[in-house]
Structure 1
Amino acid sequence: MQTVTPWSATVQEDVKNSELLLERKILDYTFQFYNTGDSLWIVVLLPKKGKIAFRAAFGMNSCFEITNLFDDDETIVIQLNSKLGNYEVSVDFPDTATPILHYKTNFTANTPLMIPFWPRDIMPLTQNGSVENTNGKIHMEQFGSRSGLLFASITKPKTGSFLYYQNLTSLSEYCEATQTESKSTVGGTWPEIGFQLPATDKSPLPAGKPFIISDAYVVLETEILEKTSAVCEHFLNNLVKVYKVLQQPRIEYHIWPDIAQKVLSDLEQNKGAWTQTNGNPYLNAYLCDYETPAESMVQLAVLGPFKEYEKWTGEKHALYDDLIKGLPAFYDPKINCINRWLPALADKLDQSEEQKKEMVMDSWYLHHPLMNLARLALHGDKSARKLVLDSIDYVIKVAHHFKYEWPVFYDMETLNIIKKETAPGAGGERDVAGAYAHLMLLLFKLTKEKRYLNEAKKAAKKLAELGVEILYQANNTAFAAGALLELYKITNEKLYLEISYTCLTGLFKNVQLYDCKYGYGKNYTNFFSIFPLNDAPYTAAYEELEVYAALSEYFVQSKDVDILPSLKTLIPEFVKYAVNRIAYYYPPLLPQDMLSDEVKTGEIQADLWVPLEDLYNGWQKSGQVGQEVYGAGMAFGIVPRQYIKIGGNFLLFIDYPITQPTKRGKSITIKLDGDQDMVYNLKIIKMYDHKIQMKVFQNKEALKPFKENLKINEYEISGKGLIKVQW
């Protein structure tokens, strides 16, 4: 039997003894409305005779009087009075083909109010008996500033599952007025689950002004979900159902080729980005951090995307040569592999952190530089090819030693474990097996040696055991998803595709699917941000770039695979918002008052086009960790993925993962294979002093620009169909 609080102990009886106000039937679901005194409940009768109640309004120690009830068969509006203020609850069912409940509650206080407590708004009920006798499995819930969602199955009685999503964008005015935060507001312990309005402890809720205090969407279904594959598929499908009835924020366009030039100029000219060792220049990890020795990951994090940018521009640049010539110095003959730190400077490590010690390896750091070396080798760089091939046997030895289950830290010489788990019982760096598989597949492409393919298969199958908590670090999970898709295409084994979906579920439950418009968060768009770790309090520049790049590649590689339709919505939408959003890591685009006064590493130069490592929601200032030089490759990674040179004098931009375009004569064709209901932006940008005289078609229908001037023509296109541009 479950234990309950006074706010739920009497719900079953309260509903039973209250008058039915209204009833609505949608498909096989019946929605009943009850005023139980201090709460307005929406009780859902499920097809398998289950019941679940949603508290749409709470009276806070006073009782409700219903002053108006309006129902026009599309929207239900219930107005309630209490001693403390007035409520208006509006309810609609935005998709009649699917049982989706949407309720939004406004509250206007009669007097300024401090609100020290609020009960959660979901209560499973029984046909007979009490809520204590129900049971359920919470598959996912909000952590920190991630989406305000809860995904659960009701297992006793066995009645079905539901995805609950609280639109925390709507809560922004409440949080701004009361100096509260919307993080960690959706969750709970069965049977008291759902959304809990943030308690006020600094500023009261003002009187006389309506505030949205709840904006909830619920997708209901009859299936009980047990297997990981079913949980992932239903979660992704239901998330899309909510997403498509949400109002998404507008897109702001950033001129990324211009940003790339500013970044390149600042990298070259700012001495705080560089250090010198044995005559070779190296990038600092953080601006003006001269104490920490150079890291291989840092050099390659910029080199990788910069090589792509060089190929896109068709121009060679000294930055590449400066960085590539210093890489062989990272090769450590003691282990026959490149090291994280320059071996010549190992004695300079200050040991202030666990990994800042000689021969201590953070598991994912071993693989990450080698991935970028392999990519450079595939671009034809001979120096990179030698380094990765000279290092790879050590990497395989480590994988075999740990049986494809890597700890957090280990000694590179002895392979003794220094830190086994991220937290007690949580395991090590869970998704490193996927990063390793990705690296092995890159080596397979480079050498055609089957042993690398076999290594990728063995590592990938280890991921099957991890479930929806697969994510340790988001970029590694994204690489894992791509590797698993590739293995599915090679082997046709469905297991790989299913684990790929598990990885993507881990990513999409770790996003912020709302726009924080309070505190410092209102200064930039943060819709669809992704967090670098499951428990990270901020989003991070470099990890966001890599997730964006990996998901773009996933979508391109999936063109011949019948992937879940939900992914054809979610991946292009993530890309669309990432291209807009991640420009705000560059401090020149942010107001200076939101930049942290104290910096953990190095310093912040607010006019420099080098990204902050950390962006926070709400009331915390950003840049607390530092200005991240190794994240400076963001612009270099975005430009070649989203811009195509056409006609010699123009750029074509689409905020969509572009598959290989087809150029014939004076035309270019691009196939979009996403969601036809989603809208994307196509822009034709004039590079020089020429008139824009082009025609744009989608599925042979001529499109008119919704905006045009001397510099740019802008079009809106559907996410599915054939785009053709003629000049």
Structure 2
Amino acid sequence: MNGLSPWAVSASAELAEASEALYQKQARDFNFTVYCTIDSVWISVSMLKGGSMAFRAAYSPGATLRVNQLRESGTGCLLELSSEIGVFKVSVDINEDGSHPVLRYSTVLKPEKDLFIPFWPRDIIATGKNGNAKHISGKVHASQVGTRSGMIYMSMTKPKSASVLYLQNLTALGDYCQQTETSAGDTVGGSWPEMGFSLPPTTKEPLQAGKEISISDAFVAFDTALPADEAAMVRQYLDLLARVYLLLPKPQTVYQPWPDILDKGLKDLLENAGCMSQVGDNAYFNAYVSDYETPPEIMVQLAVLLPLLDYVEWSGNELDIMQTIKKGLPQFFDKDICTIMRWLPAAEGKLKGEEEQKLPKVMDSWYLHHPLLNLSRLALKGDGVAKDLFLGSIDYAIKVAKHFNYKWPVFYKMDTLEVLKAETAEGKGGEKDVAGLYAHVMIQAWELTGQRRFLNEAEKAAKTLVGYGFEIFYQANNTAFSAGALLRLYKITGNELYLNLSYMCLAGIFKNVQLWDCNYGYGKNLPTFFALFPLNDAPYTAVYEEQEVFCALHDYLKHSHDVDILTSVRLLIAEYIRFLVNRAAYYYPSMLPEEMLEKEAKVGEVNKNLWIALEDLHDGWEKSGAVGQEVYGAGNAFGILPRHYFQIPNEDFYVFVDYPTSGFNAGKKKKVNFKVLGDDQLTCRLMLVKKGKEKLPDLKVAYKGEKEPVKGKSVKGGNIAYELKGNSAIEISWQ
């Protein structure tokens, strides 16, 4: 028996008696029928296997809705209705073009009077025969947390009818939130059988009379399949999400001048005294600008060093700061425990214990493996000191893994392995994705040494991830690294379990993004579409985790070039990367107005004129920069430039593409070839960018094998922009 609210009981009874259909359409195995009851417009969706769900497109509490106009279109209908509270315009559309039918219903309200909305019922009720919701059952696999996507993914299990992914386009709610000073966070949720979107309650400001305002824009994808296991569930989720994403209105991106941004950031990183501290004979990066109280952390040093190495290899420039940082790395090694330490041992005395982990020899589980991963990358590039530190610490990492049976707590003592904090929250377990990060480290050790024992460790850890589902996600960058490691394990072993686990990690990533633009309050000052949250319950997005996920997803596509991965995965990864290249510039406080920045940071200080990224960007009604300016997020620009700006020998321009690419080949005959990745149902930007003052040569951009060139558009600064399809081979030639 399902518990129901009074609104659901009333709605179920009205639906059971509804007989006059305003509109009806069959799409695949689903029948869509529009009804108008006393106070609501419902879209009832019946399924071949006996189940049904109802979606509320309009609601007028305690009032009689009157249909003033009904107009059918080729794929749906348009309704105009009125009641005592105002006039409603409802659009219903059923799209059958893709792999799964998608229902879209959107609603605009013109209030008759200034209107407060203290409560609004959710817009989905799972119903059985005759509209009775009592004896059906289902499962909610995932739903919105905070200001993440307004999403709910569920399956009707009795009767075994269908799986559904619902996505509320919260971008459309911007004017409502602006008028009423409300947030779109936590607006989609509920429990079976009463779920979906509920308008945020208004307590400060009312909706204004006489002004049309969007109050809903919902997309619902249907699949007759019920996932039989975890692997099927995450595959279905990714496929349904991509299906809806293709139809979702998306904001325009803007070209950001990353070469200029990098130059400013590099200058401030090297010259601003707040970015570094001296301990003994060595200089170290601070975690945050002007944070002199916290001892140096090895994670911070390597999180900046590796992106700098990417930049140096791309540009050919030498940076003395890299040698300075490398010189200090051996000081993190503890010869008694035989491992690198989180905190610089020579400065551990500065720790005051104001936070759980800020004590000598206390390790946050992922903090051990992340530096090891970066040391292994340096070692594989031939760095002898990094190799010694990595291999000198690897047996300690294995000892810890075995001690905890490949299920790591949050904090533990490095010398005794005493658990100081076992779970992230009561009943939630420890840092689940550390097993994948550990597997990544072990694969790196195997590549470096050829020793089979490391590969065996990677497989042992990977197998413990089975069963986590969407809960795999602890920290975004580590989950993304895990996805790449599992893909590599699949390629090494041929065991499809690891490929499915890599999809599970990616599903965790895409569950924790924001597929809407927060265009109210301070959110009007920056793009937020497709932003990624660092933790599964974090209230803000963060630069460091985002830029590392960005790099990890680039690597995922690189390793998948000879693997037939899901089309939905290629599509979603490419789009995340495209929007990050657009958004990431707004982590720099110089890009934001003064009034949206916190005056005092939790750690260090915030200098608006410093091109060091803020750690945190918040919901539109909250100021940003509360945590501080994140020195270890400085890899932002250094990661973007080498992956999206291609240099051509002896030419004075860059080829910029905001999608991931592969196979860039600059020949000697004034011609370059490469492949744009992603999906051909979507487009990306290619820009020919001048390095200096000289005009661009006469260039031709074409799809490989086609004679007709792609038309470009001259833009500011003398550059030329092109719109290209994803998943296409491109050829550029010039005189």
What TM-score do the two structures reach when normalised by structure 1?
0.98
Per the TM alignment, residue 447 of structure 1 is displaced from its structure 2 partner at its CA by 2.1
> Counterpart of 1:719?
726
1:77 aligns with 2:78: yes
Q: Which letter maps to 1:664?
A: G
> Counterpart of 1:66?
67
Gaps in structure 1 of 5+ consecutive residues: none
Query: In 2, Cα distance between the equivalents of 1:587 and 1:235?
Result: 36
Task: Look up the SS of the partner of 1:138 in the other structure.
Answer: strand
Per the TM alignment, residue 711 of structure 1 is displaced from its structure 2 partner at its CA by 3.1
Q: Which letter maps to 1:682?
A: L
Q: How does 1:89-104 map to 2 (within 5 A)?
A: 89-97=90-98, 98-104=100-106
Per the TM alignment, residue 129 of structure 1 is displaced from its structure 2 partner at its CA by 6.9
User: Out of 659, 675, 682, which is 1:678 matched to?
Assistant: 682
Deviations 1:645-704 (A, max 9, x none): 014222111112222322322322112343111101111112134332222221233222
My pick for the range that moved more, 582-591 or 649-658, is 649-658
Q: How does 1:528-607 map to 2 (within 5 A)?
A: 528-607=530-609
Q: Contact 1:482–1:554 (CA<8 Å) still a contact in 2?
A: yes
User: Out of 690, 693, 696, which is 2:694 matched to?
Assistant: 690
Per the TM alignment, residue 23 of structure 1 is displaced from its structure 2 partner at its CA by 1.6
Deviations 1:232-270 (A, max 9, x none): 111111111111111211111111111111111001111
> Counterpart of 1:51?
52
Per the TM alignment, residue 224 of structure 1 is displaced from its structure 2 partner at its CA by 1.8
> Counterpart of 1:32?
33
Query: In 1, Cα distance between the equivalents of 2:498 and 2:307?
Result: 28
Percent identity over paired residues: 50
Query: In 1, Cα distance between the equivalents of 2:637 and 2:244?
Result: 31
Task: Look up the SS of the partner of 1:14 in the other structure.
Answer: helix
Q: Contact 1:556–1:657 (CA<8 Å) still a contact in 2?
A: no
Deviations 1:133-183 (A, max 9, x none): 121100110000110011100112221111111000000110000000101
Task: Look up the SS of the partner of 1:484 in the other structure.
Answer: helix
Q: How does 1:461-476 map to 2 (within 5 A)?
A: 461-476=463-478
> Counterpart of 2:362?
360
Q: Which letter maps to 2:714?
A: K
1:370 aligns with 2:372: yes
Deviations 1:279-332 (A, max 9, x none): 211111111111111111111110010011011110111111121111111111
My pick for the range that moved more, 702-711 or 561-570, is 702-711
Query: In 1, Cα distance between the equivalents of 2:492 and 2:731?
Result: 32
Per the TM alignment, residue 130 of structure 1 is displaced from its structure 2 partner at its CA by 2.2
Q: How does 1:120-159 map to 2 (within 5 A)?
A: 120-128=122-130, 130-159=132-161
Task: Look up the SS of the partner of 1:53 in the other structure.
Answer: strand
Task: Look up the SS of the partner of 2:213 in the other structure.
Answer: strand
Gaps in structure 2 of 5+ consecutive residues: none
1:664 aligns with 2:671: no
User: Out of 652, 656, 659, which is 2:655 matched to?
Assistant: 652
Query: In 1, Cα distance between the equivalents of 2:382 and 2:179?
Result: 57
Per the TM alignment, residue 720 of structure 1 is displaced from its structure 2 partner at its CA by 1.4
User: Out of 608, 624, 627, which is 1:625 matched to?
Assistant: 627
Per the TM alignment, residue 385 of structure 1 is displaced from its structure 2 partner at its CA by 1.6
1:5 aligns with 2:12: no
Q: How does 1:449-528 map to 2 (within 5 A)?
A: 449-528=451-530
Deviations 1:423-475 (A, max 9, x none): 11111000000001111112222222222212111111111232221111110
Task: Look up the SS of the partner of 1:10 in the other structure.
Answer: helix
Q: How does 1:376-455 map to 2 (within 5 A)?
A: 376-455=378-457
Per the TM alignment, residue 63 of structure 1 is displaced from its structure 2 partner at its CA by 1.4
> Counterpart of 1:240?
242
Q: Contact 1:407–1:429 (CA<8 Å) still a contact in 2?
A: yes
Task: Look up the SS of the partner of 1:244 in the other structure.
Answer: helix
Task: Look up the SS of the partner of 1:534 in the other structure.
Answer: coil
Query: In 2, Cα distance between the equivalents of 1:554 and 1:129?
Result: 46
Per the TM alignment, residue 710 of structure 1 is displaced from its structure 2 partner at its CA by 5.9
> Counterpart of 1:704?
711
Query: In 2, Cα distance between the equivalents of 1:264 and 1:582?
Result: 16
Query: In 2, Cα distance between the equivalents of 1:47 and 1:443?
Result: 53
Report the count of equivalent residues. 727
Query: In 2, Cα distance between the equivalents of 1:275 and 1:414?
Result: 30
Q: Contact 2:123–2:195 (CA<8 Å) still a contact in 1?
A: yes
My pick for the range that moved more, 615-624 or 4-13, is 4-13
Task: Look up the SS of the partner of 2:570 in the other structure.
Answer: helix
Query: In 1, Cα distance between the equivalents of 2:388 and 2:442?
Result: 16
Q: Which letter maps to 2:655?
A: L
Per the TM alignment, residue 401 of structure 1 is displaced from its structure 2 partner at its CA by 1.0
Per the TM alignment, residue 75 of structure 1 is displaced from its structure 2 partner at its CA by 4.0
Task: Look up the SS of the partner of 1:659 in the other structure.
Answer: strand
User: Out of 218, 221, 225, which is 1:216 matched to?
Assistant: 218
Task: Look up the SS of the partner of 2:263 in the other structure.
Answer: helix
Q: How does 1:326-345 map to 2 (within 5 A)?
A: 326-345=328-347
Per the TM alignment, residue 48 of structure 1 is displaced from its structure 2 partner at its CA by 1.4
Q: Contact 2:234–2:469 (CA<8 Å) still a contact in 1?
A: no
Query: In 2, Cα distance between the equivalents of 1:23 and 1:710?
Result: 54
User: Out of 200, 203, 207, which is 2:202 matched to?
Assistant: 200
Deviations 1:3-41 (A, max 9, x none): 111101132321232332222222332211111111111
Task: Look up the SS of the partner of 1:364 in the other structure.
Answer: helix
Q: Which letter maps to 2:6?
A: P
Q: Contact 1:179–1:203 (CA<8 Å) still a contact in 2?
A: yes
Deviations 1:544-564 (A, max 9, x none): 000000001101110100001
Task: Look up the SS of the partner of 1:560 in the other structure.
Answer: coil
Query: In 1, Cα distance between the equivalents of 2:36 and 2:347?
Result: 71
